[in-house]
A = this chain, B = another copy of it.
Amino acid sequence: MNLEELRKKRPLVHHITNEVVMNFSANGLLAFGGSPVMAKEKEEVEEIARVAGALVLNIGTIRKEDIETMIKAGQAANKTGVPVLLDPVGAGATTFRKQAVQRIVKEVDVSVVKGNAGEIAALADIPLKVKGVDADEDGDAVEIAAEAAKRMQTMVVVTGKTDVVSDGEDFTTSSRGTPLLGSITGAGCLLGSIMAACMAIEKDKKGAALFALEFYNKAAERAETKAEGPGTFVPHLLDELAKAYD
């Protein structure tokens, strides 16, 4: 992953995403070096997805009519080789959500699925109890990532105390970051946006995902040293995302 190249190209990342985190995701992606576009009208999503560097589908506040829109955008992205990142927010919380995201995975060729253990388990039908969308999950994240990647035949990123990237065959873990990431909304969603931007530049999906994960967690660690709590953590995290680390 070449960060300088990314910041020069400023890849367009098309988001059909959740309303809670739109502003934070956009500012975080801008800070990192990408160019966010958030468009969700069915009539225009294909036109945007087609020319984007990557597409993010995040079901955090999905409505019934959005399923079709996400599929249209996803299929348009697939046709022109635009990588698609799926964030199955709260997939285990309701039947509607689980069915929605399973339908998306079936109809769209998703490059990477990123979520917490509970969300990934629900999506891939691996039994696990879920509590809310921001809750920490028990269970073996490595096992869930590997099993889900096999079942869905795609790369899977499970976030949590330990983050896991797996393509079904091998896996890499990372235990960086800070608990403050769990105390703000949209921390995982923004990681998804940054990962998508990396995939727009770097063909090696796993390399892109790991770079995004490490960069994001390092930025969070540095932001933590400047923050006095979850509130001041947010602007500092955005500041740190705009910097370069080696």
Contact = CB atoms under 8 A, between A and B. Distances in A.
Interface stretch (A24-32, A112-120, A161-169): A24-32
A38 to B, nearest CB: 5
Interface in A32-81: 35-44, 47-48, 60-64
Main secondary structure of the interface of A (DSSP, over half): mixed
Nearest to A62: B41
A97 interface: yes
Interface string A122-137: 0000000001111100
Contacts of A60: 38
Interface residues of A, number: 61
A44 to B, nearest CB: 4
A175 interface: no
A20 B48 contact: no
A49 to B, nearest CB: 11
Interface in A227-246: 227-232, 234-243
Given A27-B231, A132-B12, A242-B231, A96 B43 contact: yes
24 contacts: A10-B132, A20-B22, A27-B231, A27-B234, A30-B134, A30-B184, A30-B185, A31-B183, A36-B134, A37-B133, A39-B93, A40-B63, A41-B62, A41-B64, A42-B64, A44-B97, A48-B93, A48-B94, A229-B238, A229-B242, A230-B238, A231-B234, A232-B235, A235-B235
Interface of A: 10, 12, 18-24, 26-27, 30-31, 35-44, 47-48, 60-64, 90, 93-97, 131-135, 183-186, 227-232, 234-243
A30 B40 CA distance: 28
A94 B44 contact: yes
Contacts of A234: 27, 231, 235, 238
Contacts of A132: 10, 12, 35-37
B239 A27 contact: no
A190 to B, nearest CB: 12
Contacts of A30: 134, 183-185, 230
Contact of A232 (B18, B36, B236): B236
A184 to B, nearest CB: 6
